[in-house]
Amino acid sequence: MKRVDFISPAARLEDALKQLEAAWIETREQWDDSISQKVEGEFLLPIHAQVRTMMDAVSKMSVKMRKAEQDCLHPRERNVTL
């Protein structure tokens, strides 16, 4: 049975968020006015919150999928590492 991998794509998204945050910090050193604050408030902060929410959901879903996969295995397969 092929395992479902939620963690790898989520980790790539989390890395992308970290890169975006680092780039934004550098940008804010040069661009700090009402427009930059609007960009941060309307776009960047919501993205951050959405990714964090998604990461929590992925973690919970991953645990549930591992349990479901284990429950669906034939008893002889349960001790075999896939």
User: What tens digit of pLDDT does each residue of 10-26 get?
Assistant: 999 999 999 999 999 99
Q: What is the pLDDT of residue 80?
A: 58
pTM higher than the cut 0.85: no
Cα angle 76, 68, 74; round to 5: 15
Contact status, residue 10 vs residue 58, Cβ threshold 8 Å:
yes
**Rounded CA separation 61/30 (Å):** 41
